[in-house]
Amino acid sequence: MFKEDEVKQLQALFGRFTNTVEFSLHGTEENEFGRKLENLVAEVCRLSDGKCVVVSKATDSPAVVAPGFTVGRGGQSSIVYAALPTGHQFPPFLKILETLGSDTSPIAGNDASSDRSRAELLILISDSCPRCPLVVEAAGISTCENPSILTCIADVMQFQEFVKEYKIQSVPATVLDRKIVLIGALSADRIMELVRSRGTPKFEIERIGSLIERQNIEEAAASLEGEAGRTVVLDLLQDVEFSKRLSGLVVVEKALENNPDAVRAMVPSLLPMLTHDDARIRGDIADLLGKIGDPQAIPQLEPLTRDPDPDVAEAAADALEELKE
């Protein structure tokens, strides 16, 4: 299961343990993947000479997936592995064991297992992804140091239902509270920033941003009914990066089909953008106002027909024609 050098690293680590690390197994008898997870836990316990033990077969945590195993200490399991921590994933697993086995982690003595308000992190990884270990370690250490977090690390190939549910196209993918989905390696600071945003307007802004990033346009368009959705899209419409502006425009145009009143409510915030320093943004907003069809934009668009940028002037003229028709 483990390579020779990995066995040596584990044995050296266990020699420094001051705490017993506890494992629980979940549905590992169900299939071959589950049996591999169970065999890995058995090997870790054998090598540890009693420093690691299997304490039970399951918990009822909502973030636990099967097959998998939890790892923790002091009767508390806050990290769920539904992926084999071998190869690329061995170093972060080693780091998590080191943190749990030492006196530096506050996880022991904190009964967070009954706290249903804990943040839930789902980390989707691939065993061939070189960036995945970075986010696994960041999430794992954050969880060890913050008992209010419950983290599940899942192999994307074994749990395709998550790919479909969250429309995952690449890994690593981090899902917070089943609402925010971020792609790419996140630092521990970024993970904690997200966790601390729970229950605040910033959380909703992050959620809508993740919808747009994953091209979930229908749901993102629906968010324009709320202030957070409008805030995200208005920021995108003023971004110098074309791909982000395009995302914002696509969301607004979809909302025009489904809920035009929500888009018209944005017009007072769009009008000041007609004087933006960036000609590309002036042109995009002029074109958008023409599609929205609100006549209050006419006085602001008329001077733009004389804009020094010919593309902006043309967009303003076309928008005016649409509005007057």
In a domain, 209, yes or no: no
Report pLDDT for 107: 55
> Do 69 and 41 meet the contact criterion of CB atoms below 8 Å apart?
yes
Q: pLDDT by residue (tens digit) across 24-71?
A: 999 998 899 999 999 999 999 999 999 999 997 655 555 568 999 999
Bridge partners, 80 (sequence order): 70, 152
- Provide the phi-psi class of 14: left if phi over 0, else alpha when psi is between -120 and 50, else beta: alpha
Structure tokens given for 135: 């986010």
Whether residues 230 and 189 share a domain: the answer is no
Closest by alpha carbon to 79, among 34, 132, 146?
146
Whether residues 42 and 150 share a domain: the answer is yes
Whether residues 184 and 82 share a domain: the answer is yes
Give the end of a domain, one of 132, 163, 197.
197
> Do 21 and 106 meet the contact criterion of CB atoms below 8 Å apart?
no
SS3 146: coil
> Do 292 and 263 meet the contact criterion of CB atoms below 8 Å apart?
yes
Which range marks the domain in which residue 267 is found? 214-324
pLDDT < 50: residue spans in the chain: 108-115
How many CB atoms are located within 10 Å of the residue 235 CB? 13
Whether residues 59 and 178 share a domain: the answer is yes
Domain of 319, CATH number, reads 1.25.10.10
In a domain, 207, yes or no: no
The length of the chain in residues reads: 325
Report pLDDT for 112: 40
Residue with tokens 């996880």: 107
Whether residues 154 and 281 share a domain: the answer is no
Q: pLDDT by residue (tens digit) across 184-229?
A: 999 999 999 999 999 998 999 999 999 998 889 999 999 999 999 9
